[in-house]
Amino acid sequence: MTWTGFPTEGLGPAVWQGGETEALARLDKHLERKAWVANYERPRMNANSLLASPTGLSPYLRFGCLSCRLFYYRLWDLYKKVKRNSTPPLSLFGQLLWREFFYTAATNNPRFDRMEGNPICIQIPWDRNPEALAKWAEGKTGFPWIDAIMTQLRQEGWIHHLARHAVACFLTRGDLWVSWESGVRVFDELLLDADFSVNAGSWMWLSCSAFFQQFFHCYCPVGFGRRTDPSGDYIRRYLPKLKAFPSRYIYEPWNAPESIQKAAKCIIGVDYPRPIVNHAETSRLNIERMKQIYQQLSRYRGLCLLASVPSCVEDLSHPVAEPSSSQAGSVSSAGPRPLPSGPASPKRKLEAAEEPPGEELSKRARVAELPTPELPSKDA
């Protein structure tokens, strides 16, 4: 790649081989698992699934090396042969529909990848924090789970879809309160399978800016990773500075006694950064922030929000059904992800009659001008 002028320093061996021949070979290998394909319903995330798989298809769908129509008909032929299969929205066929869903949602909306002028996006007053954004993008947040994911993304151009959920939530409504637009740009630069419609749509989804409103669900940057990979081998692979930490402390190295840090030859605050935020406090404040924004929005849209919002949910034992942050409808190493039963909480009801589009857009514009909600003090 040196002849292209692209910087290659720090890059490892290529994980993905391009071309249609490789794409078709991967498709054949993927569909060999007939029982798995026919009965697929939910993703299984474990330490092994965090690494790129030889059957991953998302970059090939993105670049047209693999036709989504061919994938669909090959899948349909398999369904007919086995005569018993899972059904949309949780089936593999249902996952392909996600890609088409976001393509459709982006139709005739040239501002689909930004907040201003985007008629389907809630105008949330995000903070401008270039320093926090840079630390997130470079994998220097001080949270090993987040930093390992962003390091893998930068080195390999791919990360598991639930890993995408974790870092997207962390950047936006979970911890840093930085606009999803910034996340779109970083993913668009680094992801091999980045797709205009799917990337932007998924970021709006995960930031609760559109499609999904359960803002009280939050991915914990410690607990989620620990349940996925208790030993911490994934972190050791991508953050070698932390490789000597015991598994007990590898997700929270700042809690390790000084003696253990010295033994690991990694002093927190010197060799590896301290956490950029206090997750327990920040996520709780951000949930309250989102709650107030949605309550203000409901005055304009006639929506009855949840009567009560749970306190901060530190992690998701069964991750909320959200599309991949870059390639909904494609197949990653762990298989596609689950689909939501609907864009809003089942407890939420639409009370107002549908209004003319012009009036609706006018109201959304007024919401954009609402002041930032006043947050409670730490002593509240």
Other C-beta atoms closer than 10 Å to the C-beta of 306 total: 17
Please check if 101 is assigned to a binding site.
yes
In a domain, 8, yes or no: no
In a domain, 2, yes or no: no
pTM above 0.75, yes or no: yes
Please check if 97 is assigned to a binding site.
yes
Are 194 and 188 in contact by the 8 Å Cβ rule? The answer is yes
In a domain, 28, yes or no: yes
Please check if 245 is assigned to a binding site.
no
pLDDT digits (tens, 9 = 90+) for 229-247: 999 999 999 999 999 999 9
In a domain, 6, yes or no: no
Are 245 and 253 in contact by the 8 Å Cβ rule? The answer is yes
Helical pair 161-169 and 180-190, crossing angle rounded to 10 deg: 140
Please check if 195 is assigned to a binding site.
yes
Other C-beta atoms closer than 10 Å to the C-beta of 178 total: 21
In a domain, 1, yes or no: no
Residue 111: give its domain's CATH number: 1.10.579.10
pLDDT digits (tens, 9 = 90+) for 133-179: 999 999 999 999 999 999 999 999 999 989 999 999 999 999 999 99
Please check if 154 is assigned to a binding site.
no
Tokens of 102: 């976001």
Please check if 99 is assigned to a binding site.
yes
pLDDT digits (tens, 9 = 90+) for 64-92: 999 999 999 998 898 888 877 767 666 78
Structural domains counted in the chain: 1
In a domain, 173, yes or no: yes
Please check if 350 is assigned to a binding site.
no
In a domain, 5, yes or no: no
In a domain, 157, yes or no: yes
Are 56 and 331 in contact by the 8 Å Cβ rule? The answer is yes
Please check if 77 is assigned to a binding site.
no
Residue 153 lies in domain: 17-380
CA separation, residue 162 to residues 136, 211, 346 (Å)? 17, 18, 23
